[in-house]
Amino acid sequence: MFKKPWLQFLLLGWALFFASAQLFPEPKPVLGPPNAERLAAMVENYNRFARGGVNPELLERFVDTELRDELLFREALARDLQYRDAAVEQRIVRNMRFLDAETTASDAELIEQGYALRLHLTDEVIRRRLVQIMERLIVATADSLAPTTAQITARYEAELDGWQEPARYSFSHVFLSSDRADEMPELVAVVEAGQLTPEDARLLGAPFLSGYEFRRQSPDQMIRVFGAVFAEQIERLAPASGEWVGPVESAFGQHYVYIRDFEPPRTPPLEEVSARIERDLVREAEAQRVTDWVEQAMARYEVLRS
Identify the pLDDT of residue 4.
54
Identify the pLDDT of residue 9.
58
CA dihedral 223, 229, 232, 233 (to 10 degrees): -130
Identify the pLDDT of residue 215.
93
Query: Please, where are the H alpha helices in the chain?
Result: 5-23, 36-49, 56-78, 86-99, 107-116, 124-140, 149-158, 184-194, 198-202, 219-226, 228-237, 270-298
State the pLDDT confidence band at 283, using cuts at 50, 70 and 90. Answer: very high
Identify the pLDDT of residue 93.
96
* Domains in the chain: ranges and CATH: 36-138 (no CATH), 165-263 (3.10.50.40)
CA 234 to chain centre: 34
Distance CA 148, CA 274 (A): 11
Alpha-carbon torsion 90, 93, 95, 101, what sign?
A: negative
At 224-244, the pLDDT tens digits run: 989 989 998 888 887 778 889
State the pLDDT confidence band at 285, using cuts at 50, 70 and 90. Answer: very high
CA 45 to chain centre: 16
Whether 114 and 100 have beta carbons less than 8 Å apart is answered as no
Label the pairing between strands 302-303 and 30-31.
parallel
In this predicted structure, the answer to whether residue 3 has a pLDDT above a threshold of 80 is no
Identify the pLDDT of residue 11.
56
Q: What is the pTM of this model?
A: 0.70
State the pLDDT confidence band at 305, using cuts at 50, 70 and 90. Answer: confident
Task: Using a pLDDT cut of 90, give the percent of the chain over it.
Answer: 51
State the pLDDT confidence band at 128, using cuts at 50, 70 and 90. Answer: very high
Whether 55 and 281 have beta carbons less than 8 Å apart is answered as no
Distance CA 129, CA 97 (A): 20
- Mean pLDDT score, 213-219: 92
Query: Please, where are the H alpha helices in 181-257?
Result: 184-194, 198-202, 219-226, 228-237
